[in-house]
Chains A and B, each alone.
Chain A
Amino acid sequence: MAVIRDVMPAFELFQPATIDDALNLLDKHGSEAWVMAGGLDSFDWLKDRIKRPSVVVDLSQIKELTGVKEWNGGIEIGAMTTLTDVVRNPIVKEKFSILATGAESAASPQIRNQGTIGGNVSQDTRCWYYRSGWKCYRAGGNTCFADTPTAINREHAIMGASRCVAVNPSDSAPALIALDAKMVIRNKSGERVVDAENYFIGPALDIRRMTVLLPGDLLVAIRIPSTWAGAKFYFEKVRDRPVWDFPLVNIAAAMKVNGDNIESIRMAVNGVAAHPVRLTAVEASLVGKPRNAASADAAGQLAIQGAEPLRHNGYKVPLLRNLVKRAIRGVEEAKWA
């Protein structure tokens, strides 16, 4: 049977107006159902006819899922809030600016107007073998085509690989981990709250999924506690083009300093593994240390320990090292004559 791509297949579309209706639909249709938020990842899969759900549950009509509200001194962001709305939100800007910076670095203005924060953290990897419909491990097959002697894997993982070497492409994810965000997940049988860093999973745990979400689950909101409000933030994304491009590597750090010393710090990177990686060893090594070039260098070295580059992605190792350094010591802005 021949293959054709790039034509949207037929499916049954539901547009529930409440979370409960959505959960009932998801429960009823189980793994046959596809949750759709902004559609920017979803439509790719659907129109390429690679993922073939028979039912699509479009969340766009559920008002309860949009908007940013205050919560316990922090905020709660509805999963369907667009990236643009997250970026523009005054509280986000004031207290958690790292999230605004991270979200604003994603994709392009048009995509941010449509893409949602819930979709952004739940999106699938962009491995071009997988996205081409090759039946790799992640697609249920028996090979990782990106991890072969001849593969082109410039954009793939240097850590946490287990058969699959794809990376997580989200720009908001590391910011959320740095802010110690909590992901509120609901399904027919109730609600559970998962730390952002545990929301994302690697191939060793489940090679077919990027997050802990299972069929029937809905991410309803993301809560950001007040813990890191107004901390010193650093976010940087390195990409090929200044717009409309996924990260090669990105980094998000939240730091509290006392005088010259680092009192506490949370740091996460993405684009290096199948899930955003919280650099706990680096964090631990920095607590109580002065915030200077020497600490930054040591932290950079620590961050890349155990990194295992592939044929074309060796650059990610120095890149990660340098980004960690910069997150700690900052970047000297050039002032040209």
Chain B
Amino acid sequence: MPININGAAPAGLVVPKPTNPAEHKLVGKNYMTPDLMAKVQGKSKYAEDYRADGMLFVKLLLSPVPHGRVRSVDTSAALAMPGVKAIITVDDLPPPASSLTDAGVVIAANMKANRGLTNEPMYQGEPILAVCAESELIAAEAIEKIKIDIERLPFVVDPFVSLRPGGPNARVEGNCWVSPPPPAAVAGAPAGRGGRGAPPPQAEVKEIKWTDADYAEYESGKMPMGAPNTPEWKYGNLDAAFKNAALVLDETFMSPNTSHQCLETRSAMAYWQNGKVFVHTGTQSTAQTVPAIARWLGMVDEKKQPDVSKIVFISEYTGGGFGSKITGDISLIIPCILSKKLGGVPVMMRLTREEEHFMGKARPAVTGRVKVAFNKEGKILGMDMYGVCDSGCYDNQGDAQAAGRIASLLYQPEAMRLRTMTVITNTPPRVSQSAPGGMQAVAIIEPLLAKAARKLGVDPVEIHRINAPEGKAKFGPGAGPKQVRGYVTSAYLKQALDKGAEEFRWAERKAKSPQVQGNKVRGIGVSVSGYSGGSVGFDGLLLIKTDGTVCFQSGIGNLGTESMSDVHRVAAEMLGVPWDKCEICWGNTNKNLPWTCVSGGSQTTHAMTRSAYAVALDAKQKLKELAAKKFGGTPEGYDVANERVFRKGGGSGMTLAQAAQYAIEVGGVYDGHEPPADVNKMTKTSIAAMAGQGLVAAARDKAPHDGQTYSFAATFAEVEVDKETGKFHITDFLCIADVGTVIHPKALGGQVLGRSTLGIGHAIGQKWVYDQHYGLPLAKRFYNNKPPTILDVPAGSGNMNWAALDIPDPETPVGARGIGEPPVGGGCAAVLNAMSDALGDEIFRRAPLSADLILMSLETGKAAGEHLTAHV
């Protein structure tokens, strides 16, 4: 297997030996994924494609107010309608309960969490009750017959309005979450949201108001910086940095709130049979959605652990998640509860696009004010960052905190301070979206870096290079008594910048830039970006059947990234099985799936290639042991290749089919009757169900690992602006990914460019619009909130390109890291930087940029728009 070609392995850790990539048959090669034909032929079944006799349908009554309390509901007329079967409110839902994870960590019940339905709606569009009827039409008509009396409560949709002295609070108790200090980071805990650590303790809602003095520079567009709601962190000597600086810039930048815009809305279908609930919905993890459903439905065992034995979860296809469907969505309990109430009949809840706008989650906007000290070469000596995060109405979002960590990683300031404020607003719930915090960090800092390059006369690529992380680069604040800073497994961002600069012909273009012709001007921009790229410790599970085929059990959600299939090619390669003899079992927990990571935070490729590696080693070992049992000698005397296990140097051996048959005869650990001790409970249940069907291999990933896994991207863009209309478009785009070993080039390319496009959307148009007087959203449909289209990127002209460094990560056996998040920030910021290259520094202070802002900036000679007003 390809491993560890460059870089040193962590001391004391044994890293498997490298193999020659040139010999790979599967890894690094394109192939047809098992779900492809169904998708292109329209045969793939998403949750809402299922139909059954007697199926009932759900419609939701959504809150008309941004904040209120239901005083009374009269459903009598609705219930009296023929065809209306049931109506439920939050009172029919199980109350939030604490639960215990497998690792023994208590997840305390969050009484202020989103419960699916509510009597105190926190945003317009929040579901208050659900009507179940024979058809959606009847359900809708029933809703129109419901009398509902809602007391209006104070509301606010703009963080800076809420923070003003006397500003309104989004929640009755206050306007921000304040957490008790987090416990010390747990070594080896999975990285997520840009850092490591156990789940923070339950935050409480408090009121924080800033002073008029804090707002002194608000009108001029400088972000106020009052008291933070999270303890600040810092490292290095910031004062010295600013004292010794050749250039200090103090800039404010506002990033947008953006809906996840999954093409598949979070529709869900459920029915009960023989005491089990069958749930269909989209997810970013088939495996981990099951305990989430158990928790939401209040199904816990005597140890308070989620009891998954009564849940069958089906999710073969998911139309996008981007962080919003990490373990499905809590709204799925609505059809579950209704079905239960109605004796188990299938209940379908299809969400419309408008409902998806409300319930589909969004990235929180982070407004950042950053003061940066540069030396004359452009090296960042110090960075003082303040991020204000619009956290929506539920859950404290960590984006501003993550933004600080990512900034410290990507730009390696010698000294840094981070302060953050997370404000609750009466807007839809936020949740992580591709590179949560990472995207905002890059969007906030990159324009400043581009400006610094211009001011210092340093080439923009060079200023990125000089500040780029390298090798086991440190990042974030120190932890523990010695303030030890964490570090990454590897970073080859400089190589990515170099490769990109060459392929983009940066120097040649830079010499001419900005280029003017008539009304048109072209500019170029470069950006770095990066994000967590993997976790560790999950299970691999496979079955070698008696016909010699290998069945890979995949608990990965199939959300279009193809990792649910890709990662298993590693195991197939190691076992020497041709791909057409391999099957992927996915999308249904009845099919015996192993414990698997969620596909969030770009974990999957890293985590699950490691699990694939582990299970392939286990399968190999078992095959060798079986051969030794059958033919004599020691397992070490055997080898596995070409669908056979055979004595090294030739002689006796058997096919995988024979070995599978023999495994059944031998039983015990070989055919799944005795599971390994260290795999997850869920994996054990699956192994038990598969027992006796062939050779069952299962293993937990325990491969050595030292730093935290991060992936990187260097992104280049050229834009052309029409100065008479403000219209602009991207003429050239290139992203170089530093993601370790390439597993599946086409899928990787899809991710690199797809996620770049997601980032581009943030730069060129995607946004929310709110009427602040009523606190209500106006841009609820695609044509209003404007996600990018294929014509927004230069794909058609062949000028939308990507490449990967393909340098293996030294701390993972397969060398592969994740890719989902890293390109997003770069897609956004490379375009922003190209715009300022074309038009100058005083053009924008917020994203997205649109023709109107550009034209007004050009007309007035100063950055146009209201710099700090939310949702315009």
Residues of A within 8 A of B (CB): 1-10, 49, 126, 128-129, 132, 145, 148, 150-152, 154, 236, 238, 240-246, 248, 312-316, 318-319, 322-323, 325-326, 331-337
Q: Contact: B872 with A312, CB < 8 Å?
A: yes
Tell whether B6 is near chain A: CB-to-CB under 8 Å: no
CA distance A218 to B350 in the complex (A): 37
Q: Contact: B852 with A333, CB < 8 Å?
A: no
Report the nearest B residue to A6, measured CB to CB. Answer: B352
Chain A contact residues: helix, strand, loop or mixed: loop
Report the nearest A residue to B727, measured CB to CB. Answer: A238
Q: Contact: A2 with B143, CB < 8 Å?
A: yes
Report the nearest B residue to A47, measured CB to CB. Answer: B352
Q: Contact: A241 with B765, CB < 8 Å?
A: yes
Tell whether B626 is near chain A: CB-to-CB under 8 Å: no
Q: Of B729, B776, B789, which contacts A132 at CB under 8 A?
A: B776
8 A–B contacts from the bound complex (CB under 8 Å)? A6-B355, A7-B352, A243-B789, A248-B852, A319-B726, A323-B724, A323-B725, A337-B515
Q: Contact: B792 with A315, CB < 8 Å?
A: no
Tell whether B780 is near chain A: CB-to-CB under 8 Å: yes
Q: Contact: B789 with A244, CB < 8 Å?
A: yes
CA distance A322 to B788 in the complex (A): 26
Q: Of A2, A145, A151, A318, which contacts B146 at CB under 8 A?
A: A2
Q: Contact: A332 with B137, CB < 8 Å?
A: no
Tell whether B353 is near chain A: CB-to-CB under 8 Å: yes
Closest 7 CB pairs of A and B: A332-B518, A334-B517, A6-B352, A7-B140, A315-B852, A334-B520, A322-B724
Q: Of A152, A154, A243, A326, which contacts B724 at CB under 8 A?
A: A326
Q: Of A238, A242, A246, A336, which contacts B515 at CB under 8 A?
A: A336
Report the nearest A residue to B144, measured CB to CB. Answer: A1
Could you say which residues of chain B place their CB within 8 Å of the CB of A3?
A: 64, 144
Interface locus among B587-595, B663-671, B766-774: B766-774
Tell whether B855 is near chain A: CB-to-CB under 8 Å: yes
Could you say which residues of chain B place their CB within 8 Å of the CB of A8?
A: 137
Q: Contact: B771 with A332, CB < 8 Å?
A: no
The digit string for B835-864, where 1 denotes a CB below 8 A from any CB of A, is: 000000000000000111101100100001
Tell whether B720 is near chain A: CB-to-CB under 8 Å: yes
Q: Of B60, B517, B720, B782, which contacts A335 at CB under 8 A?
A: B517
Q: Contact: B519 with A332, CB < 8 Å?
A: yes
Q: Quick one: given A128-B769, A129-B771, A145-B771, are A315 and B726 in contact (CB under 8 Å)?
A: yes
- Greatest chain B CB density within 10 A among A1, A148, A240, A335 is at A240
Could you say which residues of chain B place their CB within 8 Å of the CB of A9?
A: 137, 140-141
Give the distance to chain A from B833, nearest Cβ to Cβ, in Å.
Answer: 20
Q: Contact: A7 with B136, CB < 8 Å?
A: yes
CA distance A145 to B769 in the complex (A): 14
Q: Contact: A148 with B773, CB < 8 Å?
A: yes
Residues of B within 8 A of A (CB): 59-62, 64, 136-137, 139-141, 143-148, 352-355, 512, 515, 517-520, 522, 720, 724-727, 729, 765, 769-774, 776, 778-780, 782-784, 786, 788-789, 791-792, 850-853, 855-856, 859, 864, 871-872
Q: Contact: A6 with B789, CB < 8 Å?
A: no
Q: Contact: A7 with B148, CB < 8 Å?
A: no
Q: Contact: B143 with A238, CB < 8 Å?
A: no
Q: Contact: B519 with A6, CB < 8 Å?
A: no
Could you say which residues of chain A place their CB within 8 Å of the CB of B61?
A: 2, 4
CA distance A326 to B518 in the complex (A): 12
Q: Contact: B352 with A240, CB < 8 Å?
A: no
Q: Contact: A246 with B522, CB < 8 Å?
A: no
Could you say which residues of chain B place their CB within 8 Å of the CB of A248?
A: 851-852
Report the nearest A residue to B512, measured CB to CB. Answer: A337
15 further interface pairs, Cβ-Cβ under 8 Å (given A152-B769, A240-B850, A331-B518): A1-B146, A4-B61, A4-B62, A6-B352, A126-B783, A129-B778, A145-B771, A151-B771, A152-B771, A242-B789, A315-B864, A318-B856, A323-B725, A332-B518, A334-B720
Give the distance to chain B from A109, nearest Cβ to Cβ, in Å.
Answer: 11
Could you say which residues of chain B place their CB within 8 Å of the CB of A331?
A: 518-519, 724
Could you say which residues of chain A place their CB within 8 Å of the CB of B520?
A: 334
Q: Contact: A241 with B144, CB < 8 Å?
A: no
Report the nearest B residue to A242, measured CB to CB. Answer: B791
Q: Contact: A241 with B784, CB < 8 Å?
A: no
Q: Contact: A1 with B147, CB < 8 Å?
A: yes
Q: Contact: A242 with B778, CB < 8 Å?
A: no
CA distance A65 to B352 in the complex (A): 34
CA distance A314 to B851 in the complex (A): 12
Q: Of A1, A7, A319, A336, which contacts B522 at CB under 8 A?
A: A336
Could you say which residues of chain A place their CB within 8 Å of the CB of B518?
A: 331-334
Q: Contact: B352 with A315, CB < 8 Å?
A: no
Q: Contact: A240 with B786, CB < 8 Å?
A: yes
Give the distance to chain A from B753, nearest Cβ to Cβ, in Å.
Answer: 18
CA distance A9 to B139 in the complex (A): 11
CA distance A4 to B60 in the complex (A): 8
Give the distance to chain B from A7, nearest Cβ to Cβ, in Å.
Answer: 4
Q: Contact: A246 with B783, CB < 8 Å?
A: yes
Give the distance to chain B from A335, nearest Cβ to Cβ, in Å.
Answer: 7
CA distance A9 to B786 in the complex (A): 27
Could you say which residues of chain A place their CB within 8 Å of the CB of B137?
A: 7-10
Could you say which residues of chain B place their CB within 8 Å of the CB of A242?
A: 729, 789, 791-792
Report the nearest B residue to A127, measured CB to CB. Answer: B778
Q: Of A145, A241, A314, A337, which contacts B786 at CB under 8 A?
A: A241
CA distance A312 to B772 in the complex (A): 14
Q: Contact: B726 with A150, CB < 8 Å?
A: no
CA distance A8 to B135 in the complex (A): 12
Could you say which residues of chain B place their CB within 8 Å of the CB of A334?
A: 517-520, 720
Q: Quick one: given A1-B144, A332-B519, are A318 and B859 in contact (CB under 8 Å)?
A: yes
Could you say which residues of chain B place their CB within 8 Å of the CB of A4?
A: 59-62, 140, 143-144
Q: Quick one: given A1-B146, A238-B725, A322-B725, are A128 and B779 in contact (CB under 8 Å)?
A: yes
Could you say which residues of chain B place their CB within 8 Å of the CB of A6?
A: 352-355
Could you say which residues of chain A place their CB within 8 Å of the CB of B146?
A: 1-2
CA distance A337 to B355 in the complex (A): 48
Q: Contact: B851 with A238, CB < 8 Å?
A: yes
CA distance A152 to B769 in the complex (A): 8
CA distance A133 to B16 in the complex (A): 64
Give the distance to chain B from A193, nearest Cβ to Cβ, in Å.
Answer: 33
Report the nearest A residue to B720, measured CB to CB. Answer: A334
Give the distance to chain A from B339, nearest Cβ to Cβ, in Å.
Answer: 21
Q: Contact: B145 with A1, CB < 8 Å?
A: yes
Could you say which residues of chain B place their CB within 8 Å of the CB of A240?
A: 765, 786, 850-851
CA distance A246 to B779 in the complex (A): 14
Could you say which residues of chain A place their CB within 8 Å of the CB of B140?
A: 4, 7, 9, 49
Could you say which residues of chain A place their CB within 8 Å of the CB of B59?
A: 4, 7
Q: Contact: A315 with B144, CB < 8 Å?
A: no
Q: Contact: A132 with B778, CB < 8 Å?
A: yes
CA distance A337 to B505 in the complex (A): 14
CA distance A246 to B776 in the complex (A): 22
Could you say which residues of chain B place their CB within 8 Å of the CB of A10?
A: 137
CA distance A316 to B143 in the complex (A): 41
CA distance A240 to B512 in the complex (A): 28
